[in-house]
Amino acid sequence: MRMPLRASAVAIGAILAGTAFTAAAQDNVVNVYSARHYDTDLELYDRFTAETGIEVNLIEGSADELIERIRNEGRNSPADVLITVDAGVLWRAEEAGLYQPVKSGILESRVPAALRHPEGLWVGLSKRARVIMYNKETGLPEGLDTYEDLADPAYDDMLCIRSSSHVYNQSLMGSIIAAHGEEAAEAWARGVVENMAREPEGGDRDQIRAVAAGQCDIAVANTYYLGHLLTSDDPRDREAGEKIGVVFPNQNDRGTHVNISGAGVVANAPNRDNAVRFLEFLVGDYAQKILAEGNNEYPVVEGVEIAPVIAAWGDFKQDDLNAATFGRNNPLALQIMDRAGWK
């Protein structure tokens, strides 16, 4: 992940100086608000400018910051595209009325239906699987191969998982609600809490490190975090990552829960045509490879080359539940997790 911005074909100087770019339509500009912060994304924007002559103006921030900024800017917002991560966050932007529907044959033909909004409000750009991880030295606990198993008393005091306050777990819960209904989902959440080896603390990397260190037997984490450890400059992280095995849950029924980073055209986009062209560029083969590799994720477009570090875990069946569903289930997911005592 990148901290400072750099000057390039991506126009950032005016933003850093504290000025806003104009909300008026311009022939050669697309204004992008992004919650993704990777150098490889900037390289893609340079490539888009080189291919199209359309300059990318960029504002970066957290998803919540950018959503609030666009809401405050209102009809005068210069934002053309909002890029963010997780379907739960995309849902929040959708609920705030920040996206407009887009009809594009390119987007519809290249991105599977489960990874784009049914009404064209947003489209997935990259995906990550939320999987079960275990220590290869001690082995996978016998019989563990589904999300439902995580609540089985057989795995008491074995599980490390991050807080319910994070949207990744909220979206996973949203998928459990869709699969089993509210009552069963709450029973599952209570079982998960009972099986925790410790109270939730830290992020996904911390859960993986805890498994590597023997503090818990299993963890739930997004695949790209393990990719980060395996490709880290820190030898301690690489050593921890090498100890970890991956289980893709529910391969014999609905498939593994997959989440996305995604983007949509902002409701009052002054440069709408350029925004659509930008999204279509991001689902091209070249852009898909770079977007995925930049964060050790999976491309959303079938057939695009996958980085070796994640390809080593093998192919898997993914849940074809539309990502918008667990976004819409987010409020109920939060209520259930709170009632279950998931801190």
pLDDT over threshold 60, residue 126: yes
Q: Which helix (H) or strand (E) holds 47?
A: helix 39-52
Band (27; pLDDT cuts 50, 70, 90) = confident
State residue 21's pLDDT score. Answer: 57
State residue 3's pLDDT score. Answer: 35
pLDDT over threshold 60, residue 18: no
Task: Give mean pLDDT, residues 44-71.
Answer: 96
State residue 156's pLDDT score. Answer: 97
Q: Which tens digit of pLDDT belongs to each residue from 304-339?
A: 999 999 999 999 999 999 999 988 999 999 999 999
Asked if 300 and 126 touch (Cβ cutoff 8 Å), the reply is: yes
Mean pLDDT, the chain, whole residue set: 92
pLDDT over threshold 60, residue 105: yes
Q: Which tens digit of pLDDT belongs to each residue from 213-225?
A: 999 999 999 999 9
Task: Give mean pLDDT, residues 65-78.
Answer: 95
Name the E strands within 232-299. Answer: 244-247, 258-265, 298-299
Distances (CA, A) of 146 to 131, 157, 192, 325: 9, 17, 12, 20
Asked if 8 and 42 touch (Cβ cutoff 8 Å), the reply is: yes
Task: Give mean pLDDT, residues 51-80.
Answer: 96
Task: Give mean pLDDT, residues 101-129.
Answer: 97
pLDDT over threshold 70, residue 241: yes
Task: Give mean pLDDT, residues 269-287.
Answer: 97
Residue with tokens 């009632």: 339
- CA 34 to CA 56: how far, in whole Å? 11
Band (280; pLDDT cuts 50, 70, 90) = very high
pLDDT over threshold 80, residue 150: yes
Band (23; pLDDT cuts 50, 70, 90) = low
> Which amino acid is residue 38, in one-letter code?
Y
Q: What is the token pair recorded at 90?
A: 């995309």
pLDDT over threshold 70, residue 269: yes
All domains in the chain, ordered by first residue: 13-127+258-305 (3.40.190.10), 128-256+318-339 (3.40.190.10)
Q: What is the DSSP letter of 317?
A: -
Tell which wins on pLDDT, 60 or 4: 60
Q: Which tens digit of pLDDT belongs to each residue from 1-16?
A: 343 333 333 444 334 3
Label residue 38 exposed, middle or buried (CB < 10 Å: 0-12, 13-18, 19+).
middle
State residue 1's pLDDT score. Answer: 39
Asked if 122 and 114 touch (Cβ cutoff 8 Å), the reply is: no
- CA 59 to CA 35: how far, in whole Å? 9
